[in-house]
Amino acid sequence: MNVLQVMNLEVVYNDVVLVLKGLSLDVAKGSITTLLGANGAGKSTTLKAISGLLAGENGKVTSGSILYNGAETVRHNPEKLVRSGVFQVMEGRRIFEDLTVEENLRCGAYTQPRKDFAHNAEKVYTYFPRLKERRTQLAGYMSGGEQQMLAIGRAVMACPKLLLLDEPSLGLAPLLVEEIFEIVGKINRTEGVSVLLVEQNARMGLSIADYGYIMENGRIVMDGNGKDLLNNPDVQEFYLGLG
Ligand code: ATP
């Protein structure tokens, strides 16, 4: 059973530039699915099409279909998608720097009943104890890794069913990347949330993945389960630097 089915998706920016050229991919319910590709391949665009965030950037889906739990969502706005369980953590974290950690979590929880806040925040603090220690601190003063934790924690507050993560490893030290991926795996298993992960760090992205897709120039060019892709000689040469 797929939580997400993207079929033959085409996306245009500013009415002229065709960036996605018939992209198709599936995310199996409960899985971690990773989307890899070079800079500019269209990975972020794919996530924004799914979460409804394209419109804010002059982007438009011109053809194709996005089925979430079997229902077409291509014309849905981001708020409706968040309410139905689709939540994107944008590249570069985008936390509210002038708010405290806990206030940021409150923002993530705006679609959820108020009475659930304490329970859900405690859940986030269990995944990320460091956020608990810093709950009253302004988010802008936290390290890059802590801010990424907060961005993911804020997403957990929305109780997502499909979590879209755009390059959570960007700019982080290797040890922190490992820690964050481990926690993403834990969230996936514990919350039963399906994850579509975009990564530049191919090795990390594939080692956590149940299934992986590789895109080039707006289309999927290869797919397979995470382990098979990690062992594929072409993937090793072009994405893992082992050629
Ligand atoms: P990266 O790994 O560098 O983030 P990506 O695979 O996520 O790359 P996208 O960010 O989806 O790629 O960009 C795909 C193409 O679309 C690029 O050529 C980019 O310049 C273009 N693009 C992205 N956003 C916009 C926008 N708002 N307006 C116009 N063109 C855009």
- pLDDT tens for the chain, 243 residues long, are 999 999 999 999 998 899 999 999 999 999 999 999 988 999 999 999 999 999 888 999 999 999 999 999 998 999 999 999 999 998 877 899 999 999 999 999 989 999 999 999 999 999 999 999 999 999 999 999 999 999 999 999 999 999 999 999 988 888 899 999 999 999 999 999 999 999 988 999 999 999 999 999 999 999 999 999 999 988 888 877 765
* Closest residue to atom 18 of ligand 1, CA basis: 40
Report yes or no: 13 and 59 within 8 Å, Cβ to Cβ.
yes
CA of 114 relative to ligand 1 center, distance in Å: 37
The DSSP call for residue 136 is: T
Give, for ligand 1, the residue of 16, 20, 44, 91 to mutate: max count of ligand atoms closer than 8 Å to Cβ: 44
Does ligand 1 have an atom closer than 6 angstroms to the CB of 218? no
**Does the ipTM exceed 0.90?**
yes
Does ligand 1 have an atom closer than 6 angstroms to the CB of 92? no
Cross-strand partners of 216: 219
* Closest residue to atom 31 of ligand 1, CA basis: 13
Does ligand 1 have an atom closer than 6 angstroms to the CB of 48? no
Report yes or no: 180 and 161 within 8 Å, Cβ to Cβ.
no
CA of 45 relative to ligand 1 center, distance in Å: 6
